[in-house]
Structure 1
């Protein structure tokens, strides 16, 4: 029996340091690393079961070649040599006939290791193929809006929350997606610090907080502006901080803020005037307020404006200038690594882009040339992407040669021509940096690859050799590549000697206390000239969205999606215990809406709109407001009554950052038996 210190590679802001107990070629237990201050000795309920993920009987054991229709899950086992020979021959033939733009490499976030995640996209970058505009299904809206407001910098250190005097979890279910921040927050609560949750649903975090404000979906910007209105009215603004550190406050105060009276904000958000007044008073009285911002509030038509409005609040009170104060969206912007060494080893500076949110449309409509070959790793777009029905229609094209590299037979892999068995993170060596904390860690493999599984790293290097791509990164080991990540780095990252990381001990690289800004002006830009130049409102605002208003007139319910506690996404689908804990895919409807439709708890129901219809189990609960239907987690269609939730969502893009607008979805629900 031995222990191995590793880093968690799941798509989560905490990036926990873990201890893997290994007996021979098997992991017997996963637990949190007690020597990493943020992980603090515990792992979440999901990661605690990752030994079962590695050794799941559902793992793919060999390469597979399709033998039946796409989507039929009919495959035969082949050798790695046969599979790679076919991939090489197909790709070379397609390039000869249609050029490299006919190929698309698609690797995303299911493996957060900076080498295994990015070397696949680096291969296709070097080959000059069509290029994935990644992140639009997740964080491109919020990250772009943050960068336009504060610049490409990280937010407050989450460990500084122990010094805060008020904490707001705004659109962030900490217990589902940021449990170690919640643990730090409990330290502050022992001092009497209050925790406020602003969220359309009554999540576990909301239940455990001191106060929950059940805001209407899509009205976060209005509430933030309403708070500013009251702070201005009551003389609670830090005028000295605003004058020294912001751009455009005077104009914002004069032209936009006056509209957002408490009565108006109440009408928009559904919150009582008294609660809006109370929240603004609490925020104005706090000196070291900390806002933990969730990404979900930006996954709608005008999500960028929501982020900008909320992220500006700590500037109005001066909290950005004080330890324990400010806001946290992501930390990665202040961790100045040269990941381009792997992401962009060579290749043209510009080429054709494929927006991840628009994958289904591009598979069906892109031409000159059309996409003829697709390689997918570390993602499951047949479930994850909006218009998931379109994605599946595109994947079903007989003339599209698709390769999927995954540990499991996913909904996406079912449409592949070749499926290759992938390692999990516990079978790979890699370098990690958090995006919800300021830690970095080099992690060895805890066990050897299971069965015939290959890592993304190994596969990309072999495909590079076969395709004649000769950049050094495709011949180096992970340890040889790591120093490249630090080349030209600045700030706290520059102080770290790369070779010191090989002992696997986590290292913190936090920026100095107090928020810095990296905008063109060097200040927090309430007024953004870049947005003005794009024809987008240059100051944070809230306006009703015309398309949402029209859709709400046609459909009585609005969709709310959020991470679930045991199956937040399909990366955990291979653990039977977690599937059982979560139960079958379900939706949540308020008792009033259920009664109006004659629907009972536990019934099979049909969710439908003009795009699709899916089947889920119904839970009747007042966790959501009337007029909202909640679908937690992203689950495979094979587990549900029928279909998967993102079939209902359009591929409309957000106002800023060209992101996905999942929460701008309207629909209705009825008994499954009445389906057309």
Structure 2
């Protein structure tokens, strides 16, 4: 039996190095790599089952052509040559008739390898097509808000948490999305360091914490500003650090902080005044506080202000300047590679953009020209995108030529004209860099492609050849492409010899200790002139959103979506064991809300609002506050009683970064007919 070192390519900040045992071309076992200092030799419960993912009975084995109505699942096998001939012919005809803007490439994050993830979009960049504004379904709001505050730079090194004296997981269920950081908390906790979780629900991380604060959805900015108010009131500020490293504090302290005394913050957040005072006192007393920030708090209509308020706090106590202190959202901003060789190999600098969160609107409403051809890889927009019913309506257009490249027959693939079998990450070579740690790694394939599956790289390169795209990236090996990433690299990354990565072991490229800022002023910008010019509040603030207030007056429950522990998204849907562990797609209500509606645990219920209706099974639990309807994970429609949760979500965008606003959804729940 052979052991192969690879890297987990699932969409997760940890980027685990893995050891895969292979026998006769089959993956027998997947386990963590003990040589990785951060992921420390263990893999999560989901990745431990990836041998079943590779060899799942539902894997697509051959290209397919649609034979029935879109969405019906009626397909017939065809060969690769026939499939590629049809794609080439259709694309060239559409370009000749309507121009390249009539094509849209849509590849995203189900494969985190930097080459397999981005080369398909690089092909469409070279073709001059409409371009996907990717990330808006996930992180564009929080990332843009971070950049407006600290600049395009990574956060605190997660391994420095061993030196922290207070740890806060703010809107981040570490057990579900960052389990290796959770494991790093054992050492400081043995020293008596407290772990606090601020989260609307009692997650598994919250259950393990020293203190859980069940904040109301959408009020994180108010709490953070309230903490800043108390720090200023009680003389707990590090004025030397503030004066040397921030911009706009005095104006913020004069114009915003006075409006958030503890009593008002308690009214907004649903927390007790005593708890707000206690939290602020703990934070003010800590010298090396570490805030692990979750992305979910920004998936609301004023999500950017929430992120800006929270990540300002470490500047007020000087924590950003000390080992073990600061905040961590993403690390990628300080991993200064030059990925343009893959992402933008050639083509015009600007063209028509399609916001990922507005895909349904683009497919149905875009004109001059309309989108006539869609290519989807490494994502499942029929489930992932907000206003998913509108997305499916767009995918159902008979005049839309859709190609989907995926290992499984997804909800999106059911609407395709051509479905192409894709490899999993264990069947591909690629280069990886973490976005929750400062490690990078190169990995080869552990096993050959299963059936007739092709990698994204192979497919993009063959389509480029057929479409006449002449650029070296479309003929090079993955190893050769990886070396191009370092040619224009900067910072610690530039000091790494890419040949070091060819032994397939992890390499760290951490920035120097102490947070740096890359804003226009070179400081943490509490006041952002950039945001002011865009008509956005230039200082972190909280105020009710008018649309949310109106919706809350109509619909009594607020939706909370969060990653589940075994089926966070549909990339794991092919593993039967994990589906069984997760259970049936369900929603969670507090006992008071269930009793008020005469609903019982296990009952089939109907979730509905102006955007649509779905049916799920009900779980009744005190893990959520009254007034919340929690729907964990994203599941295929075929697994639910009816529908998927994003059918209830509008495609309204956040205040900063034009991101999705899933948590700004209000609804009602009743017994299903």
SS at structure 1 position matched to 2:29: strand
Which stretch of structure 1 is more off in the superposition, 406-415 or 185-194? 185-194
CA–CA distance in structure 2, aligned partners of residues 364 and 211 of structure 1: 47
CA–CA distance in structure 2, aligned partners of residues 336 and 491 of structure 1: 6
Give CA-to-partner distance per residue, 1:424-445, whole Å, 9 cap, x none: 0000000000000000000010
Residue 646 of structure 1 corresponds to which residue in structure 2?
646
Residue 3 of structure 2 corresponds to which residue in structure 1?
3
Residue 557 of structure 2 corresponds to which residue in structure 1?
557
Which stretch of structure 1 is more off in the superposition, 13-22 or 481-490? 481-490
Q: What's the TM-score, normalizing by structure 1?
A: 0.99
CA–CA distance in structure 1, aligned partners of residues 670 and 67 of structure 2: 38
Residue 530 of structure 1 corresponds to which residue in structure 2?
530
SS at structure 2 position matched to 1:132: strand
CA–CA distance in structure 2, aligned partners of residues 508 and 615 of structure 1: 46
Deviation at 1:160, TM superposition (A): 0.4
Deviation at 1:599, TM superposition (A): 0.2
Give CA-to-partner distance per residue, 1:111-166, whole Å, 9 cap, x none: 00000000000000000000000000000000000000000000000000010000
Deviation at 1:251, TM superposition (A): 0.3
CA–CA distance in structure 1, aligned partners of residues 177 and 167 of structure 2: 17
Q: What's the TM-score, normalizing by structure 2?
A: 1.00
Deviation at 1:397, TM superposition (A): 0.2
SS at structure 1 position matched to 2:664: coil
CA–CA distance in structure 2, aligned partners of residues 569 and 316 of structure 1: 37
Alignment of 1:276-295 (within 5 A): 276-295=276-295
Q: Which runs of 5+ in 2 are unaligned?
A: none
Residue 541 of structure 1 corresponds to which residue in structure 2?
541
Superposition misfits of 4+ residues, deviation over 4 angstroms: none
CA–CA distance in structure 1, aligned partners of residues 149 and 177 of structure 2: 24
Alignment of 1:137-152 (within 5 A): 137-152=137-152
* 2:332 aligned with 1:332: yes
CA–CA distance in structure 2, aligned partners of residues 405 and 116 of structure 1: 12
Residue 192 of structure 2 corresponds to which residue in structure 1?
192
CA–CA distance in structure 1, aligned partners of residues 339 and 24 of structure 2: 34
CA–CA distance in structure 2, aligned partners of residues 365 and 648 of structure 1: 20
Deviation at 1:413, TM superposition (A): 0.2
Residue 455 of structure 2 corresponds to which residue in structure 1?
455
Residue 238 of structure 2 corresponds to which residue in structure 1?
238
CA–CA distance in structure 1, aligned partners of residues 480 and 3 of structure 2: 25
Deviation at 1:196, TM superposition (A): 0.2
Deviation at 1:186, TM superposition (A): 1.2
CA–CA distance in structure 2, aligned partners of residues 390 and 621 of structure 1: 32
Give CA-to-partner distance per residue, 1:21-55, whole Å, 9 cap, x none: 00010010000000101110100000000000000
Superposed CA RMSD: 0.4
Residue 171 of structure 1 corresponds to which residue in structure 2?
171
Deviation at 1:491, TM superposition (A): 1.2
Residue 613 of structure 1 corresponds to which residue in structure 2?
613
Deviation at 1:479, TM superposition (A): 1.1
Give CA-to-partner distance per residue, 1:326-349, whole Å, 9 cap, x none: 000000000000111000000011
CA–CA distance in structure 2, aligned partners of residues 500 and 623 of structure 1: 47
May I ask how many residue pairs the two structures share in their alignment? 673
CA–CA distance in structure 1, aligned partners of residues 173 and 507 of structure 2: 27
SS at structure 1 position matched to 2:168: strand
CA–CA distance in structure 1, aligned partners of residues 486 and 438 of structure 2: 15
Residue 268 of structure 2 corresponds to which residue in structure 1?
268
CA–CA distance in structure 2, aligned partners of residues 488 and 607 of structure 1: 50
Give CA-to-partner distance per residue, 1:559-603, whole Å, 9 cap, x none: 000000000000000000000000110000000000000000000
Give CA-to-partner distance per residue, 1:175-199, whole Å, 9 cap, x none: 0000000000111111110000000
Alignment of 1:572-611 (within 5 A): 572-611=572-611
CA–CA distance in structure 2, aligned partners of residues 40 and 24 of structure 1: 28
Deviation at 1:487, TM superposition (A): 1.0
* 2:32 aligned with 1:57: no
Residue 477 of structure 1 corresponds to which residue in structure 2?
477
CA–CA distance in structure 2, aligned partners of residues 122 and 130 of structure 1: 12
CA–CA distance in structure 2, aligned partners of residues 13 and 22 of structure 1: 26
CA–CA distance in structure 2, aligned partners of residues 551 and 165 of structure 1: 41
